[in-house]
Amino acid sequence: MTESKIVSLPIDVIPKDGVSVQPKTDRRQRVLAEAMKHFIHDGFERTSLDRIAACSSVSKTFLYEEFYGKEGLFTQVIHAQLGKLGYWQGSLKGDLTTALRQAAIEAIDMLHSPDLFGLYRTNVMAARKFPDFAAAIQSFVRNYNRKLALYLEDARADKKLSFEGQPIALANRYGSMVQEGLRTCLGFSPPTHDMWDSYAALATEIILHGCRGNLTVPQDEPAVPDLVPPMTGTAKMRMKPERFEALCDAALKEFVSHGFECCSIERIIAASGVSRATIYRLFTGKEGLFNFVVRQEIQRISSRKIMPKETGDDFERLLEISRTILDYHLQQECLALHRLVIEEAIAFPHLARAFYNAQLAPVSDALTRHFAQCQIAPPSSVLCRMFYALATNGLRYIVAEYVPDEIARHYISRQTAEIFWNGLSTPG
């Protein structure tokens, strides 16, 4: 008879009722991985602990015992993700053009990384409920490009580049320009792999020499994008215009303040004085109301005109365009609407894309008129998008705890115009 061995097992893997219990650390890691997927894709409010528990093969009780509920799980997921990613450790080699192209390709690659791009979206989605974590994520994203910042600092010291301010700020503005700012967060796909080199070449040419040279522009859609499809239905039927407007205003404020998932029809009713029955008759429910009020905003935004003064030289007019775009972007109502639409971009992708196109339309129009006045060929759509990303600084102020003051705005807009019109490389 063979002698049996007694093996001591950790307490959390001793079988119970014939079922093997996995180590707690294994279950924790599985939960964190599943939770990250759901939080990134669905946002905090739309994510349910029941779904995470089911996908992780653990009990809901385990989630409360180990993570203290949904908020605790979210904070641990973000901590784990930031610790896992670290910073870009690539090296930049070769001459200035080669190094900047390499950095541009790395920036585009970030959009194809589920973890890194997930942090971009989570950064926005956390801003309302978890401002401290939004600030931590923003700090991570800003510092991700430290390697490029060091390279830019050396290039300035060697008098190859001329720019003011912190190299890390310029590194992030360059990355935002290459990534076309908020576009990917608003329902558009990032450039395909076969387009990376051409996007990187264009961004490198702009930052070094400006937009007035012989640029090789990637093939793209027309410079004037399609806007939101026309609104359908008879929502205003049998309602006085001022009452209908009060309803739409109350609904928009509610959605912006609380998001789609946590918005309350009762609060909209109380603020507007319109009954639930009327709201459901007009819009069939919360989703229809959301679609309508956001589409109204999209149509209003797309009709804006950016009209610089006719006086001044070409650079000063571009500076005025840059500043007008930035000032509009930094209005609290505009920032809040950006956060809302990015949060709901997966649930309402058509609205997200239309919202981005509406923001871009006045920029494209102003830039096209400016180029015509300077007797330059009309800018392509990708060139307009890169300029818009430069002028607004991408995600930077969507999640920031502050907005730039007058002095900072002047500096940001002047650097935008300097990069786009003249480039930053020094003669020789």
For 179, the token pair is: 């990534």
Helix (H, G, I), strand (E, B) or coil at 98: helix
pLDDT at 3: 38
Residue 114 lies in a domain: yes
Domain assignment present for residue 235? The answer is: no
Verify that 180 and 322 share a domain, yes or no: yes
Residue 228 lies in a domain: no
Phi-psi region of 308 (alpha: psi -120 to 50; beta: other; left: phi over 0): beta
From the DSSP assignment, how many helices (H) and strands (E) are in the chain? 20, 0
Is the same domain home to 254 and 213? no
The pLDDT, as a whole number, for residue 90 is 64
Where is the domain boundary, 281, 301, 321? Answer: 301
Considering the domain architecture, whether residues 207 and 314 belong to the same structural domain is answered as: yes
HEC states along 105-165?
HHHHHHHHCHHHHHHHHHHHHHCCCCHHHHHHHHHHHHHCCHHHHHHHHHHHHCCCECCCC
Indicate whether 319 belongs to any domain.
yes
Instruction: Specify whether 81 is located in the same domain as 182.
Output: no
pLDDT tens digits, the chain, 428 residues: what are they?
Answer: 333 333 333 333 333 444 344 456 788 889 998 988 888 777 787 888 999 999 999 999 999 989 888 888 988 888 777 777 666 666 787 899 999 999 999 888 877 777 777 777 777 777 777 777 777 777 777 777 888 999 999 999 999 999 999 999 999 999 999 989 889 889 888 888 888 888 999 999 999 999 987 776 676 654 334 444 454 445 555 678 899 999 999 999 999 999 898 899 999 999 999 999 999 999 999 999 999 999 999 999 999 999 887 777 999 999 999 999 999 999 999 999 999 999 888 889 999 999 999 999 999 999 999 999 999 989 999 999 999 999 999 888 888 778 899 999 999 999 999 999 999 998 86
Q: What domain range is 38 assigned to?
A: 11-85
Q: Last residue of a domain, which of 70, 85, 100?
A: 85
Regarding whether 321 and 208 lie in a shared domain, the answer is: yes
Domain end point (choices 38, 60, 85):
85
Euclidean distance between CA atoms 255 and 213, whole angstroms: 45
How confident is the model at residue 410, as a pLDDT? 96
Task: Identify whether residues 17 and 144 lie together within a single domain.
Answer: no
3-state secondary structure of 16: strand
- Model pLDDT, residue 293: 96
* Residue 224, domain member (yes or no): no
Q: Domain for residue 418, yes or no?
A: yes
Structure confidence at residue 146 (pLDDT): 85
Number of domains the chain contains: 3
Helix (H), strand (E), coil (C) string for 201-232: HHHHHHHHHCCCCCCCCCCCCCCCCCCCCCCC
Closest CA to 181 of 189, 173, 193: 173
What is d(CA 271, CA 105) in angstroms, rounded to the nearest whole number?
A: 49
Residue 173 in domain: yes
Domain-embedded: residue 199: yes
Three-state DSSP class for residue 233: coil
Tell me the C-alpha to C-alpha distance, in Å, between residue 98 and each of 160, 322, 405.
14, 28, 36
Helix (H), strand (E) at residue 182: none
Domain of 16, CATH number, reads 1.10.10.60
Reported residue count of the chain is: 428
pLDDT number for residue 136: 74
Answer yes or no: do 94 and 27 share one domain.
no
Both 132 and 203 in a single domain? yes
- Regarding whether 102 and 80 lie in a shared domain, the answer is no
Rounded (5°) CA angle 55-59-60: 95
- At residue 86, the pLDDT reads 63
**Could you tell me if 44 and 99 lie in one domain?**
no
- DSSP letters, 298-321, are HHHHHT------S-S-HHHHHHHH
Are 314 and 378 part of one and the same domain? Answer: yes
Between the alpha carbon of residue 365 and those of residues 170, 296, 381, the distances in Å are: 26, 21, 11
Q: Are residues 314 and 379 in the same domain?
A: yes
